[in-house]
């Protein structure tokens, strides 16, 4: 999704306005999706009152403070930790897909299902991260 | 990050505790995804990514917030940040509602070491107004207040006079004893010479000479002003020798007086006379009329 907010200075003023979000005329083609407003997230923020994400608030708050971010609302911290968690779990799921693909691609497990023991290795993680644009290089072991 | 052998400071411990927590979080997320085990390098990679992700969100949200002339980041700043980082915000509520999730306990917070009541001495200085309140307190005053270790000198007049008088008496006695030990001595008692030695008196042939002539101090002053003129310098050097010899005849005495007069008149050019004693002014020579 491409953020719309600060974008086009030369945009004509006749762009359509719907629920407070400026939609440029090119959106009619369908290749640019407008960013959703924050309304559903505001509701979600209310739900975060008693929700504890996996990352403790203190840890996330510590790293945010190091970056200069002073959170006024503890729910903001929980939102950020949730986002970070999702980020990592998305990568983990992609790596799991790679692992499963490598396992079943050879055709070894026809009779029995693939054993449930998956091990995350760098060989699975590297292509998963490459899709996100992150290139990791594991140093070769010196024997 | 500190190496394994270096001693860890409290700041390092603080940092490491949180990093370990992140590692635990990553491990729990991987377990949720379905992995049984993972490579150490992979876990480290994901931990590092998680840490930089959170830091980047914080930095970027702060920048967006400051971009709009605000100081407190809001939800909109974070949404814009997440969108900029390529994160699909719409899926977030769905993710939150997933079933299995584990809660990790926060790392223990250690309080600042508090000095026990028995060891505190004195009141800590309160913060001046320009120091924020969350800064640590000032240390105990005994750590920076210094007490001079010398005693105050006695300023009582009576004691001081007594001390000065006794010191002068002691100095005099020491000096006279020194002179008696090193110079000639006379003794009042015939048989006992060493008990009460007296400094032997040196008789001057011309006793009234010292009364007539100026003191040594003035001689030195004249010598200093006279140093530019080379002729008179030899005369002034000879003069003290004349004074100290015992066998100076009357002719030599007159000659020495005359020589001193010439030196005095010679040195008058550059000398600012501090003492204006009429008896010490240079003698005006009488005009000698030559009768043809």
Least CA distance to B104: which residue of chain A? A54
Alpha-carbon gap: B119 to the closest alpha carbon of chain A (Å): 32
At B41, give phi and psi (nearest 5°). Answer: -65, -35
Cβ–Cβ gap B104/A87 under 8 Å: no
| CATH code for position B83 | 1.10.20.10
Q: Do B29 and A38 touch (CB under 8 A)?
A: no
A91 found inside a domain: yes
B15 located within any domain: yes
Q: Which of B111, B101, B22 is nearest to A63 (CA)?
A: B22
**Contact (CB, 8 A) for B26 and A55:** no
> To the nearest whole angstrom, how far is the Cα of A26 from the nearest Cα of chain B?
20
B62, A69: Cβ pair inside 8 Å?
Answer: yes
Q: Do A80 and B62 make contact, defined as CB atoms within 8 angstroms?
A: no
Cβ within 8 Å, pair A44-B101: no
> Which residue from A minimizes the CA distance to B42?
A122
**Whole-number pLDDT of residue B2:** 45
Measure CB to CB from residue A89 to each of B29, B82, B103 and give the nearest one: B29
Q: How confident is the model at residue B145 (pLDDT cuts 50, 70, 90)?
A: confident
pLDDT-derived band of residue B269, with 50, 70 and 90 as boundaries?
very low
The larger pLDDT score, comparing residue B108 to residue B49, is at: B49
Mean predicted confidence (pLDDT) in A80-91: 89
Q: Which residue of A has its CA nearest to B74?
A: A76
Domain residues for the domain of A90 are 39-103+118-130
pLDDT tops 90 at residue A16: no
Coil, strand or helix at A119: strand
Does any domain span residue A65?
yes
Q: What token pair was written down for B188?
A: 């009042």
pLDDT band at B5 (very low <50, low <70, confident <90, very high): low
Considering only residues 40 to 69 of chain B, which have any Cβ-Cβ distance to chain A shorter than 8 Å? 41-43, 45-46, 49-51, 53-59, 61-62
Residue A112 lies in a domain: no
Q: Give the minimum alpha-carbon distance from A90 to chain B in angstroms, rounded to a whole number.
A: 9
Listed range (A133-137, B45-49, B211-215, B227-231) with the worst mean pLDDT: B227-231
The encoded tokens of residue A70 equal 């002073």
Task: Examine the fold and report which residue of B95, B119, B149 is the final residue of a domain before the chain moves on.
Answer: B95
The backbone region for A135, taken as left when phi is positive above 0, alpha when psi lies in -120 to 50, beta otherwise, is beta
Q: In whole angstroms, what is the distance from residue B280 CA to residue B215 CA?
A: 10
B29·A88 Cβ contact <8 A: yes
Q: Is B18 at the interface with chain A, CB within 8 A?
A: yes
User: Nearest CA to B4 among B199, B12, A93?
Assistant: B12
**Domain-embedded: residue A47:** yes
Write down the mean pLDDT value for chain B: 75
Sign of CA dihedral B120, B121, B123, B127: negative
State residue A110 phi and psi, 5-degree precision: -95, -45
Element (H, E) at B197: strand B197-199
Residue A21, helix vs strand vs coil: strand
Structure confidence by residue, pLDDT tens digits, B13-62:
778 888 888 888 888 888 888 888 888 888 988 999 999 999 999 999 99
CATH of the domain at A78: 1.10.20
Q: How far is CA B245 from CA B182, B201, B253, in A?
A: 20, 15, 11
Whether B264 has a pLDDT exceeding 80, the answer reads: no
Q: Of B30-34, B180-184, B199-203, B246-250, where does mean pLDDT reach its minimum?
A: B246-250
Per CB-CB distance under 8 Å, the chain B contacts of A86 are 87, 91-92, 95
Is position B160 within any domain?
A: no
Residue B149 located in a structural domain: no
Going by the DSSP 8-state scheme, the letter that residue A131 receives in this structure is H
What range defines the domain where residue B22 resides? 9-95
The answer to whether position A14 is within a domain reads no
Assess whether pLDDT exceeds 90 at residue B165.
yes
Has residue B178 been placed in a domain? yes
Number of domains in chain B: 2
Domain's final residue, options B95, B117, B140: B95
Query: Given pLDDT bands bounded at 50, 70 and 90, which one contains residue B131?
Result: confident
Cβ distance A39 to A73 under 8 Å? no
pLDDT band at A4 (very low <50, low <70, confident <90, very high): very low
What average pLDDT does this structure show over B208-216?
80
Residue B161 lies in a domain: no
Q: Which residues of A touch B76 (CB under 8 A)?
A: 38
Q: For the whole model, what pTM was predicted?
A: 0.51
Chain A residues in contact with B53 by the CB 8 A cut-off are 84, 87-88
Dist CA A143 CA A101 (whole Å): 30
**Which residues of chain A make contact with B51, given a CB cutoff of 8 A?**
63
Report whether A23 contacts A34 (CB < 8 A): yes
Q: Determine whether the interchain pair B80/A118 forms a contact, defined as Cβ–Cβ distance below 8 Å.
A: no
Residues of A in contact with B26 (CB under 8 A): 88
pLDDT score recorded for residue B266:
46
For residue A135, the distance in angstroms to the closest alpha carbon of chain B comes to: 11
Q: CA-nearest residue of chain A to B34?
A: A118
Tens of pLDDT, residue by residue over A53-81, are 888 888 899 899 999 988 888 888 988 98
pLDDT at residue B11 tops 90: no
Cβ neighbours of residue B197 closer than 8 Å, sequence gap 6 or more? B180, B181, B185, B186, B187
Are A88 and A55 a contacting pair, CB within 8 Å?
no
Position B18 in a domain:
yes
Instruction: Give the separation between CA A47 and CA A67, rounded to whole angstroms.
Output: 26
**Domain count of chain A?**
1
Span between the terminal Cα atoms of chain B, in Å = 116
CA B158 centroid distance within chain: 35
Q: With respect to residue A45, please indicate whether it lies within any of the assigned structural domains.
A: yes
Q: Which residues of A touch B70 (CB under 8 A)?
A: none
Give the minimum alpha-carbon distance from A95 to chain B in angstroms, rounded to a whole number. Answer: 9
Nearest to B78 by CA among A66, A32, A78: A78
Model confidence pLDDT, tens digit, residues B69-101: 988 888 888 889 988 988 888 888 778 777 556
């Amino acid at each position: 999704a491409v953020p719309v907010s600060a974008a086009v200075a030369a945009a004509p003023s006749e762009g359509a306005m719907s629920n407070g979000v400026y939609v440029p005329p090119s959106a009619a083609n369908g290749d640019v999706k407008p960013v959703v407003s924050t309304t559903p997230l505001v509701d979600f923020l209310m739900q975060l009152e008693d929700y504890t994400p996996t990352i403790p608030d203190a840890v996330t708050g510590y790293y945010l403070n190091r970056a200069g971010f002073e959170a006024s609302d503890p729910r903001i911290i929980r939102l950020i930790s949730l986002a970070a968690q999702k980020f990592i779990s998305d990568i983990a799921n992609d790596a799991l897909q790679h692992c499963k693909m490598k396992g079943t691609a050879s055709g070894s497990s026809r009779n029995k299902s693939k054993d449930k023991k998956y091990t995350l290795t760098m060989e699975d993680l590297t292509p998963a991260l490459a899709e996100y644009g992150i290139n990791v290089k594991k140093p070769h072991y010196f024997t | 990050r500190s190496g394994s052998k270096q001693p860890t400071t409290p700041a390092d411990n603080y940092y490491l505790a949180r990093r370990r927590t992140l590692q635990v979080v990553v491990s729990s997320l991987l377990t949720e995804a379905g992995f049984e085990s993972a490579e150490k390098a992979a876990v480290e990679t994901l931990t590092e990514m998680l840490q930089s992700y959170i830091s980047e969100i914080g930095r970027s949200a702060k920048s967006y917030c400051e971009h709009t002339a605000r100081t407190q980041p809001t939800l909109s700043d974070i949404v814009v940040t997440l969108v900029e980082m390529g994160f699909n915000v719409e899926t977030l509520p769905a993710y939150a509602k997933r079933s299995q999730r584990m809660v990790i306990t926060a790392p223990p917070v250690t309080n600042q070491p508090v000095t026990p009541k028995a060891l505190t001495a004195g009141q800590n200085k309160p913060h001046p107004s320009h120091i924020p309140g969350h800064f640590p307190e000032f240390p105990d005053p005994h750590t920076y207040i210094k007490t001079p270790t010398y005693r105050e000198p006695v300023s009582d007049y009576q004691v001081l006079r007594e001390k000065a008088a006794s010191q002068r008496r002691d100095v005099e006695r020491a000096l006279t004893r020194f002179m008696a030990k090193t110079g000639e001595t006379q003794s009042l008692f015939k048989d006992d010479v060493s008990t009460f030695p007296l400094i032997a008196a040196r008789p001057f042939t011309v006793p009234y000479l010292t009364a007539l002539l100026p003191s040594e101090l003035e001689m030195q002053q004249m010598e200093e002003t006279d140093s530019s003129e080379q002729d008179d310098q030899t005369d002034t050097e000879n003069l003290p020798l004349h004074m100290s010899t015992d066998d100076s005849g009357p002719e030599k005495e007159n000659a020495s007086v005359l020589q001193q007069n010439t030196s005095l008149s010679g040195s008058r050019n550059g000398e600012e006379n501090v003492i204006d004693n009429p008896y010490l002014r240079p003698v005006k020579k009488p005009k000698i009329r030559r009768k043809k």
